[in-house]
Amino acid sequence: MKITIGTRGSRLALIQTEDVVANLKQINPEIEISIRQIRTSGDVITGTPLAQIGGKGLFVKEIEEALLRGEIDLAVHSAKDMPTELPPGRLGPPGRLGPPGLIIGAITERVDPRDVLISKGNKRLFDLPAGGGIGTGSLRRKAQVLAARPDLEVIDLRGNLDTRLRKLEEGELAAIVVAAAGLIRFGQSEVISQFLPPGLMLPAAGQGALILEIREEDTESREIISKLNHLPTYLSVLAERAFLKELGGGCQVPIGALASFESIPKRELSLEGLVASTNGERIIRAKLEGQAEAAEEIGRSLAHQLLDSGAAELLTSFGSPILFPGLHFNKS
């Protein structure tokens, strides 16, 4: 069997893809695998905040197009980069993910989903000097940093992990906030100054997990790729993405979500979510538990719990209520 894998060309994306290759080889040592690097719009447009240029879909569009054309057989995506606008059907095998004809073949075991602080002098968040610059390209991170430290200056920072680390080293910033998973996959955990606990910094939906996307009719690839599916991660990401989708959010809105298994024997899943103002002055946060098999329903229910608690008003401040299908808000 031969498989061509499509991925972004960043060092992190290639490391993630090599991990997938190694796991596939372990399942079937005879499989022939080649990797095709695909430059996405998100890789080309690096000087503008994601919220202003279209958000998450910019990192997957060209890869999905290559998959639909049959130029590749499998796409490897960071789950947090995947848009939540799903056509009819479930998320996950055999549900759809992106354009009609594409489905999730597997969601692999998650690496640490937390965000981390990397700072000069190895300082923790509450030890950074007042007025110091802290870099991030995420509205979600910005809101939560300012909620904890309103005296810091949050500076928009885009680019790959190497670029962000270089800007910190060059003296432009006092600290940066990035995902732990990237540093762990790089083998650079030693640069981390502080793992930010979810109570302080709730991660993005899907952070730390990889989604493997295939063509719906490709039953041969589906059979082998499905063996890489990690059920606890799959159910957690399912709940987080359902929460995000119900709120209609993405990179344009500060939303965080993290699911975990509170009791493995009882298969109970706990989901925590938040919606925030970009200045961090207002954060609406809640937690919901339920049976893991009802992951999507837990996500949707938590979203409506937050909407009823004031998130609806907060979200409309980011744009038109059209973001939230079927929901109508009184702006008076």
Give the CATH number of the domain where residue 265 resides.
3.30.160.40
Residue 296 belongs to a domain: yes
* Contact partners, residue 45, CB within 8 Å, separation at least 6: 53, 58
Burial of 27 (0-12, 13-18, 19+ CB in 10 A): exposed
Both 191 and 162 in one domain: the answer is yes
**Residue ranges, the chain, pLDDT below 70:** 41-58, 85-99, 249-251, 263-265, 319-332
Both 58 and 43 in one domain: the answer is yes
Both 14 and 84 in one domain: the answer is yes
Please tell me the total count of domains within the chain: 3
Both 28 and 104 in one domain: the answer is yes
pTM of this structure: 0.86
Please give the Cα distance from 139 to 146 (Å, whole number).
Answer: 10
Both 93 and 214 in one domain: the answer is yes
CB 196 within 8 A of CB 177: yes
Both 8 and 102 in one domain: the answer is yes
* Contact partners, residue 22, CB within 8 Å, separation at least 6: none
Helix (H) or strand (E) holding 53: helix 50-53
pLDDT at 115: 98
Report how many helices (DSSP H) and strands (DSSP E) the chain contains, helices first.
11, 13
Both 88 and 217 in one domain: the answer is yes
Identify whether 94 is preceded by a cis peptide bond (ω within 30 of 0): yes
Which sequence positions are flagged as catalytic? 81
Please give the Cα distance from 43 to 9 (Å, whole number).
Answer: 9
Both 281 and 315 in one domain: the answer is yes
* Contact partners, residue 19, CB within 8 Å, separation at least 6: 108, 185, 210
Residue 132 belongs to a domain: yes
Question: Apex CA 296: angle with CA 330 and CA 97, to 5°?
Answer: 95
Strand, helix or coil for residue 29: coil
Residue 147 belongs to a domain: yes
